[in-house]
Amino acid sequence: MFGVLGTATALELPSELGIVRSPKGRSMTDRPDKTPSRVTRVGIPIDALEYQRGVTDAEADIAAKSYRLFCQTRGAWGDFFTELMQQRFAVHVVHTSDMTTYEELSHQSGYNDAVVAHLDNQFGAGSFQRACDEVKAYREAGYRRWRESEAKRLDSGPKGEEDGAGLISSG
């Protein structure tokens, strides 16, 4: 749904948010065969060292009261998400690309996990998920409005003529 970078999450973030998150309750240590112990939401291996570096970087930023979230956000809902995070939590949203390395995704996943845990500790359990739910509702409402306006536009077009989209209506 959303474009938040990351891994599967216990918070069930809308996929459009693209926020890098990891599953809860799993070890971040490498397995004996040196393959990563987890994969991201998009199937990219987690680099345990980069993940931990992300957590450490986030902890330092949290202590300095200057932290961020890494997200793939664009469009009206992305602007809404960015403003909501800034106003509600004083979090700066860093717009990320899907063209990246698994090390960078791992770092961002660790960073975001630490920041979301901090937000839930500071603002109450589930506060970050509630904000994501608001973004999802905003996006769905916008999509509904667009579909309704398109249906009205197509229904009100002249019959038997081009409807503006290059289609000939039959009727």
Average pLDDT, the chain: 76
Amino acid in the structure at residue 28: M
Range from 52-61, 99-108, 151-160 carrying the lowest mean pLDDT: 151-160
Cβ distance 115 to 67 under 8 Å? yes
Asked if pLDDT for residue 135 goes beyond 80, the answer is: yes
Q: How confident is the model at residue 169 (pLDDT cuts 50, 70, 90)?
A: low
What's the rounded Cα separation, in Å, for the pair 80 and 94? 14
Range of the domain at 9: 1-158
Q: Within a domain: residue 43?
A: yes
Q: Within a domain: residue 171?
A: no
The model's pTM is 0.67
Q: How confident is the model at residue 99 (pLDDT cuts 50, 70, 90)?
A: confident
53-82 pLDDT, tens digit each? 999 999 999 999 999 999 988 788 899 999
Range from 20-34, 80-94, 107-121, 132-146 carrying the lowest mean pLDDT: 20-34
How far is the first Cα of the chain from the last one, in angstroms, to the nearest whole number? 37
- The count of domains in the chain is 1
What's the rounded Cα separation, in Å, for the pair 74 and 164? 27
Q: Within a domain: residue 147?
A: yes
Average pLDDT for 109-124: 96
What's the rounded Cα separation, in Å, for the pair 160 and 171? 6
Cβ distance 84 to 131 under 8 Å? yes
Q: Within a domain: residue 169?
A: no
Q: Within a domain: residue 164?
A: no
